[in-house]
A = this chain, B = another copy of it.
Amino acid sequence: MDIPPLKLAHFKQALKNENLRLTVQRRAILADVLGSDKHREIDEIYLSLKKAGIPVSRATIYRTLDILEQVDFVHKMDIGDGRFRYENNLTGDRGKGHRAHHDHMICDHCGKIIEFVDQEIERRQEKISAEHGFTLLRHSHQLYGLCSDCRYE
């Protein structure tokens, strides 16, 4: 669970810009979220770091994820079950690119989260907003139902 050198450097710079410090906890939390292609919950991160022997508290995880969201390293998402999820928002190992925007399909039965994008939907959202004189800044779009594995259970 290592942070690619370029991303780590980028993170150090971002911290320095805000007069923030690189701590064991911040490094571990970043590694956790970047190293997973999942949508992580606070408690998953907490338990995972504890198991790895890293001293950390939930408070620090919340505080660190706020910072990571500010600098766009992670994306904070709300699927409506009362807990936030955090997902890696950076591309591969090189450079500081951001992952492309996408929305989510969530299985009511097993909780699986599937990502999707549809350019036509993106366009229609812009069009609808324009028709109402609404300045669209962001959106939240989730599809709920049963994934293919749970469909016939």
Interface residues of chain A, those whose CB is within 8 Å of chain B, are 78, 80, 105, 107-108, 114, 116, 118, 120-121, 124-125, 128-129, 132-148, 151
Contacts and interface: CB of A to CB of B under 8 A. Distances in A.
A147 B118 contact: no
A150 to B, nearest CB: 8
Contacts of A145: 129, 134-138
A128 B135 contact: no
A138 to B, nearest CB: 5
Contact of A120 (B114, B124, B144): B124
B148 A134 contact: yes
Given A114-B132, A114-B134, A140-B142, 14 more contacts: A80-B80, A105-B129, A116-B132, A125-B143, A129-B145, A134-B143, A134-B148, A135-B145, A135-B151, A137-B145, A137-B146, A139-B142, A141-B141, A141-B142
A78 B82 CA distance: 10
A129 B128 CA distance: 22
Nearest to A79: B140
A129 B151 contact: no
17 contacts: A121-B124, A121-B125, A128-B143, A129-B143, A129-B145, A133-B147, A133-B148, A134-B146, A134-B148, A135-B151, A137-B144, A137-B146, A138-B144, A138-B145, A139-B141, A140-B144, A141-B142
Nearest to A152: B135
